[in-house]
Amino acid sequence: MSIASSNTSMRVPAGFRNLLEGLAREVLREQPTNVVAFAAQHFQKLLEQREAGGVDPVAWGAMLED
């Protein structure tokens, strides 16, 4: 079964690259045995920081990418 290719180009949302690079950096630093659970905790912590009025890493990353 094959899927026909299309001319649609997809773009990575602004700030997404920075968000994933941050996760990758923390995974390499901590070397967790359960990467999925670690990622969930990492993103939960970022969400809590954003909701508390702190820095939004996605918005900050998007500014760096511009």
Q: Which position has the token pair 């968000």?
A: 19
Which secondary structure element, helix H or strand E, spans residue 15, and what is its range? Answer: none
pLDDT of residue 53: 83
Extended beta strands in the chain, E state: none
- Euclidean distance between CA atoms 46 and 49, whole angstroms: 5
Count of residues for the chain?
A: 66
Extents of the domains making up the chain: 35-65
Query: How would you write the pLDDT of the chain (66 residues) with one tens digit per residue?
Result: 556 666 678 888 888 888 899 999 999 999 999 999 999 999 999 888 888 887 777 777 777 766
